[in-house]
């Protein structure tokens, strides 16, 4: 619980219009996009100036009050659930794009800027910000950096970390820390931008970032490839990468997901298909034609039927189908658990086979889609958290799924992070020494543990014991 004196001080910093404390007002900040038990914060504050962040951090540090930075709350690992109460600090008031620099190819934005708004502002001046998480119409730049968000274009253009040139954040002493620069190269000290990427709000409150932007591609071509068999589609993914062709996007939808998308959106997809690959190549027009030819040949050799989008409207429909995959599945059952296991691309067929085997053995509803070209699959469990028996089977199946990914040389999470949801499994991937190192780092910069308590490595001892 926070004291009345503490509330008064916070109120004097942000004003009544940017502070919420009644249980009904703070309720919607008690959870995020992860199906986990909610916890109410004591206070929700929305600073509109960066210097207000410094003062709020200092107050929390002085009184040892937990502080959970929150962007749009779309993360999928429980990252903004305030498990110990305290203050939720909304970054949505820090929503200004400060500079779009066409000459030097960077943009400076505050942490609460919505990803799609930043991408649109960059596009208006003829440039391109590639990271495009499916949540980009609401997710924030701060949340993207803290989770190292990926997107549909990750295969060719990389993920958020590849675009972070600099960061400004406030540490546990309320001090302003600046890492990186507006230059392409910068080696002045520790790589603090790298440190902040994927730190899940556990090391400080990010207020600004300098992000790289690039010239857009001159041409592009989208296609849908229809397979009768998901294993053949998986083999095609591995074969395209092995042939050293890098499409911008190489996505997969299994038959269950195709059916859900058609039912929810009416998009014209072949409902009798075993799987779809959605592929886009881009670049110089000549390169696009060459790469399209190579991709189409590989896909057809493995039994796929290639359908090229002839118009922008057809292209939009292809990508709408992919972007609606998650929300279409979510309509089918009360509880949705979205995983994001990631394996080396050559292991996609083996991982797909593992998912199919788990689905059959546990008798569960699992729709699988994802960034197959990145080796990043989203097996999505559809269940009902009130059905204890089924939930136990889901939990066991997820453990096997994680182990399967690790056995194939993969990782627990390609883009959703650890938060609280995957904490018990982290040690299996990185080992105790790595967790202890991360924990010492956390304790060194945040000795009172105010930033996002119990997330990532903060609670690891308990979890090691449980293991």
Residue 371 CB, shortest distance to ligand FAD, in Å, is: 8
Nearer residue to ligand FAD within complex by CB, 150 or 349: 150
> Which residue shows structure tokens 């998986």?
234
Nearest residue (beta carbon) to ligand FAD: 143
Sign of CA dihedral 195, 91, 123, 186: negative
Q: Which is nearer to ligand FAD, 134 or 302 (CB)?
A: 134
- Which of 91/347 has CB closer to ligand FAD? 91
Contact yes or no for 61/174 (Cβ under 8 A):
yes
**Rg from Cα positions in the chain:** 22
Structure tokens at 161: 């970390």
Instruction: Kindly tell me which of 156 and 307 has the beta carbon lying closer to ligand FAD.
Output: 156
Find the shortest distance in angstroms from Cβ 199 to ligand FAD: 7
Give whichever of 91 and 302 is closer to ligand FAD, judged by the CB atom. 91
- Locate 319 and state its tokens: 């990508």
User: If phi over 0 gives left and psi between -120 and 50 gives alpha, with beta otherwise, what is residue 231?
Assistant: alpha
Q: Residue 225 in contact with residue 275, Cβ under 8 Å?
A: no
> What gap in Å lies between CA 18 and CA 207, rounded to an integer?
17
* Shortest spacing between CB 333 and ligand FAD, in angstroms: 16
307, β-bridge pairs: 224
Q: Which helix (H) or strand (E) holds 210?
A: strand 205-212
Q: Based on CB atoms, which residue is closest to ligand FAD, 52 or 140?
A: 140
Question: What is the closest distance, in whole angstroms, from the C-beta atom of residue 169 to ligand FAD in the complex?
Answer: 7
Q: Is the CB of 345 or the CB of 416 nearer to ligand FAD?
A: 416
CB of 61 to ligand FAD, least distance (A): 15
What's the burial of 465, exposed, middle or buried (CB within 10 Å: 0-12/13-18/19+)?
exposed
The number of CA neighbours under 13 Å toward the Cβ of 440 is 5
Q: Which residues bind ligand FAD (CB under 6 A)?
A: 32-33, 68-76, 79-80, 91, 111, 133-135, 139-140, 142-144, 146-147, 149-151, 200-201, 205-206, 326, 415-416, 452
Crossing angle of the two packed helices 388-407 and 423-430, in degrees rounded to 10: 20
CB of 80 to ligand FAD, least distance (A): 5
Closer residue to ligand FAD (CB): 75 or 368: 75
- Give min distance, CB of 287 to ligand FAD, in A: 26
The CA-atom distances, in angstroms, between 42 and each of 48, 81, 314, 456 are: 20, 12, 49, 22
- Residue 396: CB partners within 8 Å, gap ≥ 6? 362
| Minimum distance of ligand FAD from residue 8's CB (angstroms) | 25
| Gap between the Cα atoms of 129 and 215, Å rounded | 9
Which tokens sit at 208? Answer: 């600004």
């Amino acid at each position: 619980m926070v004291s009345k004196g503490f509330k008064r001080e916070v109120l004097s910093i942000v004003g009544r219009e940017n502070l919420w404390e009644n249980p009904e007002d703070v309720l919607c900040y008690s959870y995020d996009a992860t199906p986990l038990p909610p916890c109410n914060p004591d206070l929700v504050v929305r600073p509109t100036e960066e210097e207000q962040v410094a003062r709020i951090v200092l107050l929390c540090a002085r009184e040892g009050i937990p502080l959970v930075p929150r962007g749009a709350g779309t993360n999928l690992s429980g990252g903004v659930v305030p498990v110990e109460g305290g203050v939720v600090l909304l970054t949505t008031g820090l929503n200004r794009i400060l500079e779009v620099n066409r000459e030097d190819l960077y943009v400076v934005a505050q942490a609460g800027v919505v990803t799609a708004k930043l991408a649109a502002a960059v596009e208006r001046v003829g440039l391109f910000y590639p990271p495009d998480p499916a949540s980009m119409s609401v997710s924030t730049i701060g949340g993207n950096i803290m989770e190292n968000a990926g997107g549909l274009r990750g295969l060719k253009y990389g993920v958020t970390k590849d675009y972070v040139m600099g960061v400004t954040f406030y540490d546990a002493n309320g001090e302003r820390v600046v890492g990186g620069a507006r230059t392409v190269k910068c080696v002045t000290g520790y790589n603090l931008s790298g440190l902040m990427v994927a730190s899940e709000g556990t090391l400080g409150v990010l207020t600004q970032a300098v992000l790289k932007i690039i010239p857009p591609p001159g041409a592009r071509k989208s296609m849908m490839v229809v397979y009768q068999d998901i294993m053949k589609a998986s083999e095609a993914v591995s074969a395209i990468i092995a042939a050293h062709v890098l499409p911008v996007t190489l996505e997969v939808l299994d038959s269950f997901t195709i059916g859900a998308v058609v039912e929810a959106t009416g998009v014209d997809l072949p409902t009798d298909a075993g799987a779809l690959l959605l592929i886009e190549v881009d670049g110089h027009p000549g390169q696009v034609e060459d790469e399209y030819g190579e991709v189409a040949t590989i896909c057809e050799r493995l039994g796929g039927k290639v359908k090229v989008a002839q118009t922008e409207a057809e292209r939009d429909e292809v990508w709408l189908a992919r972007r609606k995959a998650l929300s279409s599945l979510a309509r089918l059952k009360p509880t949705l658990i979205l995983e994001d296991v990631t394996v080396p691309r050559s292991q996609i067929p083996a991982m797909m086979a593992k998912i199919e085997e788990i689905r059959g053995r546990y008798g569960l509803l699992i729709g699988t889609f994802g960034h197959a070209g990145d080796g990043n699959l989203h097996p999505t469990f559809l269940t009902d958290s009130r059905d204890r028996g089924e939930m136990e089977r889901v939990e066991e199946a997820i453990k096997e799924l994680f182990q399967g990914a690790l056995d194939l040389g993969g990782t627990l999470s390609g883009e959703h992070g650890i938060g609280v949801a995957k904490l018990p499994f982290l040690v299996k991937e990185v080992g105790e020494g790595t967790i202890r190192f991360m924990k010492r780092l956390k304790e060194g910069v945040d000795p009172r543990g105010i930033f996002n308590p119990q997330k990532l490595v903060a609670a690891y001892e308990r979890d090691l014991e449980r293991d």
